[in-house]
Amino acid sequence: MPLLEVQELRVEFPTRRGVLTALDGVSFAIEAGEVLGVVGESGAGKSLTGAAVIGLLEPPGRVAGGQILLDGRRIDGLPYEQMRRIRGREIGAIFQDPLTTLNPLYTVGQQLAETMLTHLPVNPAEARRRAIRWLEDVGIPGAAQRIDAYPHEFSGGMRQRVVIALALCAEPRLVIADEPTTALDVSIQAQIITLLKGLCREHGTAIMLITHDMGVIAETADRVAVMYAGRIAEIGPVRDVIKHARHPYTVGLMGSIPSLSARVERLAQIDGAMPRLAAIPPGCAFHPRCGHAFARCKSERPELMDAGGSSRAACWLHAADSASAMVAGAPREARPGDARPGDARPGAARQGVADDAR
Amino acid sequence: MFIYILSRIGQAVPVILTVTFIAFAMFAYVGDPVTIMLGQDYTEEQRQALIEALGLDQPFFVQYARFVANAVRGEFGLSYRLGRPVLSLIAERLPATLELSLVAAALALLVGVPMGVFTGLYRESWLSRAFLVFSLVGVSLPTFLIGILLILVFAVILGWLPSFGRGEVVVFGWWSTGLLTASGLKALILPSITLGLFQMTLIMRLVRAEMLEVLRTDYIKFARARGLSNRAVHFGHALKNTLVPVITITGLQLGAIVAFAIVTETVFQWPGMGLLFIQSVGYADIPVMSAYLMLIALMFVSINLIVDLLYYAVDPRLRVDRGRLGRTGV
């Protein structure tokens, strides 16, 4: 049984002009100790998925369908108090901006101790001892003295280390890291990711790593889910997805990443923009931007289907029935150099500077 | 810390000096004390003797310096109206005013803060809406009208509470208190509600606005994500972060409560300083007026100092000394 299983998750925002569906049919699973990367453009629903899992959707957002299972136990729609006991204890969270994540009025030691006292059977003295050990573990020099320092006395990178300690101190089995390095200097991003991964491996904690940085995913994740317009476009082992992307969107995403080894004059760009939530096209949400779209893509929505290797993609190109015959298995041979499976050459209009998948 | 306090006191000195100057100018320019003190029949020698005795023949600044020196020693002269030392008059009245003001302020805080927290947390509930409507009444109705309405309802119609005075008081040395007798407490209810209502609604609205602001912050989201109890999130993390502005306003309002107790004391014939001041104005009793002016100024300045020190206690970011200031950026 996977540690976390999300099935057909649907998140809606009721607004004055109608209900917006922000997540639609999102399904994935995370095994114990596994690192699942979640990538996509801004607004693809990555963070929302994380918020739904930990039960902190901002109202009026709500889980409108599907289920979220932790150890096979359903956790969506739990009463607030029961969900509270899961947060921090079973599922931890790390946010994007370490400068605003810590309460400025409490010392880091107080915040650590408070979290442990809430979830673990420890007394204040023991909580303090553990807090010092956690600060040491996340690499804060002079932890025994720094424990009584306030957040503003730490630099951004150090604060993110404190946030990691806070997320892990009650020893959750899953931690949702939402863009944990985006707000940091490039020079310390790698340190923080290495630290997070190392600590989680040590404690057997699974990570749901939400980011738009494919580099981070490539280094860290075991599997990756690519999200587009509130749906999962492709999910699979990280090597497969990077080297042999199966979904045209993923192919475009990979093509827009600059590479040191490959000599390209200009980076590939996916034409157009992700649709607004109010105007998600019928059928496959990507079809207006897809060079391979055919009739079926416009009318019928593709579910995740086996797409060769261990990957699953929500794309009709991989359907086992008549549709796949049309492209004669071409996508299965997709290579990272190709902008599009089956395409001889990327069209001139699709070339340009990479914009979103930084 | 010590230097901080010293610098704050240093800033307070010019304020106090300015107020003493204004208070002193009242003597010099509002009426002639010699004429007032001599009465109808006097000789020119008597007049000269009195002028010399009072030091009025001295240059302006010498007089002013003497006035300040006397004020520092608590010598404010004799009341023209009652012929008694101003200091003892004020000392007699001070407990009544302070008691009323502190009870009103406590009421404003103890009711205003929880109401603010509640309306901030449960924006949509009907009770929140009711509180907001009520607060609009508190903010918009003038104090004297509220006082008169309360008297009408609770003293005249229902007859539950006295409409004026302090009730029985217990005296300890120079301090008299109405807090220890039933009639004293009953007499305190209506005036303190009248005096505190405006502040209560102000604090409630302020706390509500601040709560709404703070609840949106990342650290509150993170506190929830850490699974802290609602109580800890709302009061430990959210409310504490709203305190700096609340302390500022409450502090300034406490000064205002003491100063503007005048209206409430007049409505309820409360034997405090405000009532004394109003009576003195009627008689042009300048020593009392100027002493009252200085006392209120001193009170405002001290409250401001306390407020600044409270910031220090609440917000660790202010405790950063200048050497480390660079690291607090952003």
Specify whether A17 is located in the same domain as A151. yes
Segment B46-57 shows an average pLDDT of 77
| Residue A331 scores a pLDDT above 50 | no
Q: Report yes or no: B252 and B194 within 8 Å, Cβ to Cβ.
A: no
- The closest CB to that of B237, out of A88, A103, A166, belongs to A103
Least Cα separation, residue A20 to chain B (angstroms): 22
- The closest CB to that of B218, out of A97, A106, A152, belongs to A97
Q: Are residues B241 and A84, on separate chains, in Cβ contact within 8 Å?
A: no
Least Cα separation, residue B125 to chain A (angstroms): 15
Q: Are residues B218 and A54, on separate chains, in Cβ contact within 8 Å?
A: no
Specify whether A164 is located in the same domain as A286. no
Specify whether A192 is located in the same domain as A304. no
Q: Which residues of chain B have a CB within 8 Å of the CB of A131?
A: none
B318 touches chain A (CB under 8 A): no
Chain A 117-156, residues with CB within 8 Å of chain B CB atoms: 118-119, 150, 152-153, 155-156
Q: Which residues of chain B have a CB within 8 Å of the CB of A102?
A: 219, 222
Is A47 inside a domain boundary?
yes
B298 touches chain A (CB under 8 A): no
- Compare all CA atoms of chain A with the CA of B312 and give the residue at the minimum distance: A105
Specify whether A207 is located in the same domain as A259. no
Interface A-B, measured as beta-carbon pairs within 8 A, has a size of 89
Asked whether the whole model's pTM tops 0.90, one would answer no
Number of domains in chain A: 2
Question: Looking at the domain B86-328, which fold is it?
Answer: MetI-like fold (1.10.3720)
| Residue B19 scores a pLDDT above 90 | no
Q: Which residues of chain B have a CB within 8 Å of the CB of A86?
A: 227
| Residue B60 scores a pLDDT above 90 | no
Specify whether A110 is located in the same domain as A36. yes
Chain B 235-254, residues with CB within 8 Å of chain A CB atoms: 236-237, 240-241
Segment A3-27 shows an average pLDDT of 89
Specify whether A214 is located in the same domain as A264. no
B171 touches chain A (CB under 8 A): no
A97 touches chain B (CB under 8 A): yes
What pLDDT sits at residue B314? Answer: 80
Segment A138-151 shows an average pLDDT of 90
Confidence of residue A9 (pLDDT cuts 50, 70, 90): very high
Q: In terms of residue numbers, what domain contains A321?
A: 254-269+282-357
What pLDDT sits at residue B33? Answer: 67
B269 touches chain A (CB under 8 A): no
What pLDDT sits at residue A307? Answer: 77
Segment B149-165 shows an average pLDDT of 83
Specify whether A192 is located in the same domain as A262. no
| Residue B31 scores a pLDDT above 70 | no
- The closest CB to that of B224, out of A87, A156, A170, belongs to A87
Least Cα separation, residue B275 to chain A (angstroms): 43
Specify whether A209 is located in the same domain as A291. no
Specify whether A325 is located in the same domain as A197. no
Segment B86-115 shows an average pLDDT of 88
Chain A 239-278, residues with CB within 8 Å of chain B CB atoms: none
What pLDDT sits at residue A346? Answer: 38
Among B125, B224, B226, B319, which would you mutate to test the A interface (most chain A Cβ atoms within 10 Å of its Cβ)? B226
- The closest CB to that of B232, out of A114, A153, A170, belongs to A114
Q: Tell me the per-residue pLDDT of B141-154, one tens digit each, with 9 for 90 and over.
A: 888 888 888 888 88
Least Cα separation, residue A248 to chain B (angstroms): 35
Rounded to the nearest integer, the mean pLDDT of chain B is 82
Confidence of residue B298 (pLDDT cuts 50, 70, 90): confident
Specify whether A75 is located in the same domain as A215. yes
Q: Tell me the per-residue pLDDT of B262-275, one tens digit each, with 9 for 90 and over.
A: 888 888 888 888 88
Q: Tell me the per-residue pLDDT of A233-290, one tens digit each, with 9 for 90 and over.
A: 889 898 888 888 888 888 888 877 776 666 666 777 777 788 888 888 888 888 888 8
Specify whether A217 is located in the same domain as A259. no
Least Cα separation, residue B252 to chain A (angstroms): 23
Q: Are residues A118 and B228, on separate chains, in Cβ contact within 8 Å?
A: yes
A83: CATH: 3.40.50.300
3-state helix/strand/coil string of chain A: CCCEEEEEEEEEEEECCEEEEEEEEEEEEECCCCEEEEECCCCCCHHHHHHHHHCCCCCCCEEEEEEEEECCEECCCCCHHHHHHHECCCEEEECCCHHHHCCCCCCHHHHHHHHHHHHCCCCHHHHHHHHHHHHHHCCCCCHHHHCCCCHHHCCHHHHHHHHHHHHHCCCCCEEEEECCCCCCCHHHHHHHHHHHHHHHHHHCCEEEEECCCHHHHHHHCCEEEEEECCEEEEEEEHHHHHHCCCCHHHHHHHHCCCCCCCCCCCCECCCCCCCCHHHCCCCCCCHHHCCCCCHHHHHCCCCCEECCCCCEECCHHHCCCHHHHHHCCHHHHCCCCCCCCCCCCCCHHHECCCCCCC
Q: Which residues of chain A have a CB within 8 Å of the CB of B314?
A: 105
Least Cα separation, residue A58 to chain B (angstroms): 10
Least Cα separation, residue A143 to chain B (angstroms): 18
Confidence of residue B246 (pLDDT cuts 50, 70, 90): confident
Q: Are residues B315 and A56, on separate chains, in Cβ contact within 8 Å?
A: no
Q: Which residues of chain A have a CB within 8 Å of the CB of B324?
A: 153
- The closest CB to that of A150, out of B219, B226, B316, belongs to B316
Question: DSSP 3-state assignment of B76?
Answer: coil
Specify whether A179 is located in the same domain as A81. yes
A106-110, A164-168, B249-253: range with lowest mean pLDDT: B249-253
Please enumerate in sequence order all residues whose Cβ is within 8 A of that of B248, keeping only pairs 6 or more positions apart, or say none.
Answer: B307, B311
